[in-house]
């Protein structure tokens, strides 16, 4: 369909909670194609609708690797229904060009969502894989949560943002994840 402009950190749409999708209409199908086109054009592994200024609960993922090939996936109205363990990783985001930070995520998750054909599915992503982390990252976008809200070192992340001419961390949005961090 079309490559859309990816919003950058500081733009309002990234912090707004997204609305549920009630029907996989032509509008949603077009949105899904735009998300994939934009994600691939930016060399991303995931992209959520709010990142292109559409506050609907939709994201796409292509976490295929040479070691673990898989098909691209669509998640509509996703809900993480089970989570456990913890894993530390370095994350980036297409809305934060060239900025990366260490974050903590759940190691194992189970997610329930609807696919592009309107079918509900449940899937697991385990062992802190790229897929598990990507699903959590993109799902956060739907709630106005950004990866920097999970940062392990606020001051280091602040320096990275500054170096990349991005706004400062909103300390009120930092997540209290001591229980998760204690599992590392």
Any idea where the domains of the chain sit in the sequence?
12-181
Rounded to whole angstroms, how far apart are CA atoms 39 and 46?
Answer: 6
122 three-class SS: strand
Given a contact cutoff of 8 angstroms between Cβ atoms, the answer to whether 58 and 22 are in contact is no
**What is the predicted pLDDT for the residue at 179?**
86
Q: Tokens standing for 104?
A: 């903590």
> For 93-127, how does the pLDDT look when each residue is reduced to its tens digit (9 = 90+)?
999 999 999 999 999 999 999 999 999 999 999 99
- What CATH class does 12-181 carry? alpha beta
CB–CB of 4/38 below 8 Å? yes
Dihedral (CA of 91, 97, 98, 99) sign: negative
Beta bridge partners of 168: none
What does the pLDDT read at residue 112?
98
% pLDDT > 70, the chain: 100
> Which segments in the chain show pLDDT lower than 70?
none
Q: Which residues pair with 123 in a beta bridge?
A: 111
pLDDT digits (tens, 9 = 90+) for 66-79: 888 999 999 999 99
Helix (H, G, I), strand (E, B) or coil at 81: strand
Residue 12 annotated in active site: no
Of the candidates 138, 156, 159, 177, the residue annotated as catalytic is 138
């Amino acid at each position: 369909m079309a490559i859309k402009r990816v919003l950058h950190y500081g733009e309002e749409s990234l912090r707004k909670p997204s609305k549920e999708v009630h029907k996989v209409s032509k509008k949603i199908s077009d949105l899904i194609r735009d998300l994939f086109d934009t994600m691939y054009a930016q060399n991303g592994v995931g992209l959520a609708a709010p990142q292109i200024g559409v506050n609907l609960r939709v994201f796409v993922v292509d976490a295929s690797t040479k070691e673990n090939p898989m098909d691209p996936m669509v998640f509509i109205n996703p809900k993480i229904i089970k989570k456990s363990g913890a894993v530390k990783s370095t994350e980036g985001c297409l809305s934060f060009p060239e900025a990366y930070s260490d974050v903590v995520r759940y190691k194992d998750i189970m997610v329930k969502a609807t696919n592009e054909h309107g079918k509900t599915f449940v899937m697991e992503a385990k062992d802190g894989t790229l897929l598990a982390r990507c699903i959590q990252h993109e799902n956060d976008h739907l709630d106005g949560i950004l990866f920097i809200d999970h940062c392990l070192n606020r001051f280091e992340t602040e320096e990275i943002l500054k170096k990349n001419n991005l706004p400062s961390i909103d300390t009120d949005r930092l997540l209290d994840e001591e229980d998760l961090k204690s599992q590392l």
